[in-house]
A and B are shown apart, each in its own frame.
Chain A
């Protein structure tokens, strides 16, 4: 194993960028260079578009990219989840077929996990895959699927055995989204956006080669995907910050980001827009109200502790520690901040915060905070589920009595909707 140091990595990256980075390149051509050299995802294995670099040294490479304005790999959410899952559990064929196109950003991916009948109880999925002849035939309904309408490929969790227990009856597939058996419908939210889709699978087909891991291992593989989800959200945010540089390659990437990031436009509002609080308080004169000032101070205190808690988690990740159940901590802290911020925003804006759309303060931002923040304590696992995770997996408390353990899935009571 090669010994890396910060300096050796920095020098090597700098030298390579010096020879290869050119803002006049075509975006696709540049990404191919990244794939060939491994500098786009340096912590990936060197056999698969990476350089075997320890995760802790990746920020050094990122710094060098940033220094010369070189564009990184498009780290759009689900695509990177797919990559992580395939690297962990995929076959040689999966790696050959999908990884490079993920690195170059050619394929859009989506995640087909949640169902109308299985939300917090994700493993209760009832979408079925049945082997008919030499193909898997899939029937069921998925929901909360970001980018389903654009996706080329989907990560599918489906039930392959009704007689096995809940978790053991699930299998994991990669499904071609561009086929007649798949219909997507946008799901409109109360804040006006349609960031998600419902996906109807009617005799949709999957070739046996596109199964990931063994039959019945679906839950294990899905757990890998989910563990990378929060990390992916971070890199998505970083990628979505468009550099100001001028040049055709930047324009190309800006256009791509605009499309990819569209479903995520309300996410800052969902998080409460703490950054706007002081400005709004000054603008409206609410800053003179001692009661409001106290509420702002309290919000900023919660925000600061949440920020440092997140820093600790990020630092642990940079040291290469796997994301553990402590992730629930950050999630709970963040939804508390969002909730508090929405309340303070509306205290500041008063009755105006009830106006909708452009009439509402900050061109609609305040009202968007008010009608978006409830999603923060639901999406990615509700606050209540986070507390279950903390209590069972961090504090090691007794597991709640389960009524579905050890029984064949077909005998477990479930929602009538499916």
Chain B
């Protein structure tokens, strides 16, 4: 197996890295966080101009036919820059929801608008008390006079506050925790009966609670097949896992670099503290954790499109479990080795720690995926 990047992939990597290092320092990021929308429209347009928003869409949808490896390259660079633009919600989750669903009235049009930077999407699936269980959907949809009517609530939906379209999961039949009977709907954010309450998350992003009261939608708002979207939802979340795995690798590498640099320059007891073997060994442990995360992020890119559902499920839970372990080791180790300065707002390391702590929990924490894995046989 060849792990080298192709020339095109290397070019992509260079250009994304350049965009981030030239335009995205900690200070400008803080300004973006304080702004009304919580993301930079200008940055978003630059991502569109570079072709990154449609990267993994097919060329007929204005994309570049990129695959999971291209996606990994972009996410790793975003992790290094702590990019807070709604890429995960719009392109990864939204884009894949559209791509993976068989039909959908204006699927093609939406993908095109995403890739030009003219449309934002949020994937509204999680609910209160669902923990990380994907089949827990209480939000209901029923048919009334040839219209769909949605009732219920969704919580901590990333970037829903700025989204043009919400992709909402709702139960069309079955009990609260049944995998059967879940459907997806395309809901314009402005629709009557949709109430949004947004709040900041610890890592500088925004999340939203969504109230749905008698939200009336045309028949063609249904995305994919009625009752049958559980496996699609799982696959969307798996795409999310592969994406944040790569993102975390970028962020962890930065934490390691910053920490090693600090150990070499910070002087105590008359010598650089990196002289002390106990600190050296902790840094070496961090290095191992970053490299294992890198290996598993590559593995995730190879497995996220696997057709065998069981194999894919096992692989993606394995990925998220390892990423959880590595985020913890590197995030916490980075702070600890910095000492007091590590917990200040001014210093970059804390911002990485916050994002890594989020990633550790996004799409299921270590314990959640351990539970899934422990219920499965290891497929080989």
Contacts and interface: CB of A to CB of B under 8 A. Distances in A.
Contacts of B291: 309, 326, 329
Nearest to B274: A397
A337 to B, nearest CB: 11
Interface string B252-290: 000010001001100000011011010011011101100
Given A305-B292, A309-B295, A398-B264, A297 B285 contact: no
Given A304-B296, A319-B4, A391 B280 contact: yes
A333 interface: yes
Contacts of A306: 292
A305 B283 contact: no
Nearest to B257: A395
A293 B291 CA distance: 26
Given A294-B371, A309-B295, A395 B272 contact: no
A116 to B, nearest CB: 24
Among A300, A306, A397, A400, chain B packs the most CB atoms within 10 A around the CB of A397
B374 interface: yes
Contacts of A315: 1-4
Given A305-B296, A397-B260, A329 B287 contact: yes
A278 B358 CA distance: 33
B307 interface: no
A293 B375 contact: yes
A22 interface: no
Contacts of A401: 275
A395 B288 contact: no
B144 interface: no
Contacts, number: 109
Nearest to A312: B3
B321 interface: yes
Given A312-B3, A315-B2, A396-B264, 11 more contacts: A297-B321, A298-B321, A298-B370, A300-B378, A315-B4, A333-B292, A387-B281, A388-B277, A388-B281, A390-B288, A395-B280
Contacts of A390: 284, 287-288
B299 interface: yes
B304 to A, nearest CB: 14
A298 B369 CA distance: 10
A312 to B, nearest CB: 5
Nearest to A391: B280
A312 B298 CA distance: 10
Contacts of B371: 294
A405 interface: no
A388 B370 CA distance: 32
Given A297-B374, A400-B275, A308 B263 contact: no
B260 A395 contact: yes
Given A297-B374, A300-B318, A319-B4, A391 B281 contact: yes
A305 B322 contact: yes
A298 B256 CA distance: 24
Interface string A391-415: 1101111101100000000000000
Contacts of A386: 284
